[in-house]
């Protein structure tokens, strides 16, 4: 763990990711005293600005200081740790200048050791020159650690990902590299391993003999809104399925690791990924939102090329060829501009043996990742009173109710802390990414029109549940809606 003499350098400090996620997460850690003592945070980007301007931008997403004097004080203290350097990404001289700035800070250290953490909140176009320039000009060799945190997109398909990763690898060792998938920092995603392996009752039912189908769902109630330029080049599959949802699937299905060490966990993740064949076209449903209820359609976004057929919704069914999971469909689905904000895992168990019960609802275990974190098990119980009917009800662990005092950390807070501690278990290893791309590359090439006509996504209205074909799609893979509408009591909210 890094304690003293640490500088965190945020590259791309004037961009969206830094402003919305990285810097607020650093502040979150700072105010809870999780950052190393006397830490310094250095912003770096092309934009020329002075410290006052940078401080303002860096803290613009931190809310509540006006009403909370304690927070305001902490924010002032945080600003003391910030400095800013402007410079280009491609030229060595700019990085020399950055290095001088860092050495200036380090000259006050009592010991020679210094640690530098480089956080790249940058577009992929400058990834390679930046990783090289940092290594050539800003890498410390007089004791202490250098670490680099990078974030998707890691390429667009297997080939481009391999070339990107191998360039980074020329300069940075696996041990120094932290590849973020921020879903791995989410509390409920981290909870999956505990739910599975610390509960014999759940663990016992976790296989093809008991589970009929699994859905991992990501829903956002807004469209690309100005981010269309980036999005159109990637599409929802690269944006969400290939990384965030596949990571959740991996943790949900991997075998029990020998220990909680990073390599033991990631070895198991890789094993299950290797058992997943590339997705079939016939197991895929694509959609694109159109204008409805006064909300703009995807093509109405000025940053989107006219006539784009980029999917903003996708459902893909994956299969795992191993003894635990053979035959169980895993449906990953994600969409922009849907009817609600929700990310959840829904495990639907098989029917009980018929006979004494007919048409009885199936058990479902739902892990709600966000918002309003919860784990609930839908189960049948006897209707209270002088009846013998079974009724679907639930065992409910809603975090807000059960852990009233707990503050759930932001994913980025938890991951930056891991990187400071040198713990790789919630970061993506290079071989994991390689297998992840193998699973998705063929359908991505099909969607991009590399082997012929590009498939046209089905249209769905902004604010709807997705393409109308979705109901049939999930039913085709065995999902059964309860006969009796499941009633979720209002007190849960």
Contact between 113 and 142 under an 8 Å Cβ cutoff? The reply is yes
Nearest residue (CB) to ligand BG6, 25 versus 75: 25
**Shortest distance in whole angstroms from residue 263 CB to ligand BG6:** 25
Q: Which is nearer to ligand BG6, 220 or 232 (CB)?
A: 220
d(C-alpha 171, C-alpha 213), whole Å: 43
Give least dist CB 220 to ligand BG6, A.
6
Strands (E), 140-250: 146-151, 177-180, 211-219
Measured at the CA of 1, the angle between CA 70 and CA 248, to 5 degrees, comes to 85
SS3 content of the chain, % helix, strand, coil (to 5): 40, 20, 40
Q: Among all residues, which ones are annotated catalytic? A: 244
Minimum CB distance to ligand BG6, residue 155 (Å)? 15
DSSP-assigned states of every residue in 368-402 = EEESS-EEEEEEEEEPSSS---EEEEEEEEEHHHH
**Under a CB-based contact definition with an 8 Å cutoff, are residues 47 and 101 in contact?**
no
Give CA–CA dist 161/350, Å, rounded: 39
Which stretches of the chain bind ligand BG6, using CB under 6 A? Answer: 182, 220, 239, 343
By C-beta, is 58 or 415 nearer to ligand BG6?
415
Place of tokens 């912003």: 43
Closest contact distance (angstroms) between CB of 343 and ligand BG6 is: 6
Nearer to ligand BG6, 93 or 340 (CB): 340
Between 188 and 343, whose beta carbon lies closer to ligand BG6?
343
- Pick from 139, 144, 133, 122: nearest CA to 4: 144
User: Rounded to whole angstroms, how far apart are CA atoms 82 and 40?
Assistant: 6
Query: Quick one: which H or E segment has residue 197?
Result: helix 187-197
Residue whose C-beta lies closest to ligand BG6: 239
Q: How far is the CB of 84 from ligand BG6 (least distance, A)?
A: 26
Q: How far is the CB of 119 from ligand BG6 (least distance, A)?
A: 16
Burial environment of residue 338 by CB neighbours within 10 A (0 to 12, 13 to 18, 19 or more): buried
Q: What ranges in 139-183 are assigned the alpha helix state H?
A: 158-171
Q: Which is nearer to ligand BG6, 157 or 220 (CB)?
A: 220
């Amino acid at each position: 763990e890094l304690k003293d003499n640490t500088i965190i350098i945020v590259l791309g400090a004037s961009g969206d990711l830094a402003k919305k996620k990285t810097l607020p997460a650093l502040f979150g850690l700072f105010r809870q005293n999780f950052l190393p003592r006397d830490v310094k945070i250095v912003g770096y980007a092309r934009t020329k600005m002075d410290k006052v301007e940078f401080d303002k931008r860096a803290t613009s997403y931190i809310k509540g200081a006006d009403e909370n004097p304690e927070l305001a004080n902490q924010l002032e203290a945080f600003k003391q740790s910030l400095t800013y350097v402007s410079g280009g990404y491609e030229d060595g001289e700019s990085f020399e200048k950055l290095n001088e700035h860092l050495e200036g800070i380090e000259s006050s250290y009592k010991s020679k050791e210094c640690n530098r953490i480089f956080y790249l909140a940058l577009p992929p176009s400058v990834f390679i020159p930046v990783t090289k320039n940092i290594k050539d000009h800003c890498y410390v060799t007089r004791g202490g650690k250098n670490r680099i945190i990078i974030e998707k997109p890691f390429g667009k398909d297997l080939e481009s990902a391999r070339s990107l990763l191998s360039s980074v690898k020329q300069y940075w060792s696996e041990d120094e590299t932290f590849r973020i998938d921020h879903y791995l920092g989410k509390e409920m995603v981290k909870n999956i391993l505990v739910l599975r392996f610390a509960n014999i009752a759940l663990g016992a039912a976790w296989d093809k003999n008991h589970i009929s189908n699994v859905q991992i769902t990501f829903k956002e109630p807004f469209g690309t809104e100005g981010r269309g330029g980036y999005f159109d080049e990637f599409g929802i599959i690269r944006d969400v399925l290939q990384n965030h949802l596949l990571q959740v699937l991996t943790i949900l299905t991997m075998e029990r690791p020998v220990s909680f060490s990073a390599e033991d966990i990631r070895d198991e993740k890789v094993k299950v990924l290797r058992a997943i064949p590339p997705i079939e076209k016939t197991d895929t449903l694509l959609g694109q939102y159109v204008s409805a209820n006064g909300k703009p359609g995807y093509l109405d976004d000025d940053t989107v090329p006219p006539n784009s057929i980029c999917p903003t919704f996708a459902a893909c069914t994956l299969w795992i060829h191993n003894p635990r999971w053979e035959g169980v469909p895993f449906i990953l689905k994600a969409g922009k501009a849907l009817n609600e904000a929700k990310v959840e895992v829904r495990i639907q168990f098989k029917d009980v043996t018929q006979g004494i019960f007919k048409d009885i609802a199936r058990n479902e275990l739902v892990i709600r990742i966000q918002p309003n974190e919860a784990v609930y098990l839908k189960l049948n119980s006897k209707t209270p009173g002088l009846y013998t009917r079974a009724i679907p009800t639930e065992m409910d662990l809603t975090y807000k109710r059960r852990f009233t005092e707990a503050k759930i950390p932001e994913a980025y807070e938890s991951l930056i802390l891991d990187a400071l501690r040198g713990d790789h278990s919630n970061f993506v290893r290079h071989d994991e990414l390689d297998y992840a791309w193998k699973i998705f590359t063929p359908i991505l090439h099909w969607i991009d029109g590399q082997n012929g006509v590009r498939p046209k996504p089905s249209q769905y209205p902004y604010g709807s549940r997705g393409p109308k074909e979705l109901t049939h799609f999930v039913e085709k893979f065995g999902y059964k809606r309860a006969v009796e509408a499941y009633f979720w009591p209002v007190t849960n909210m």
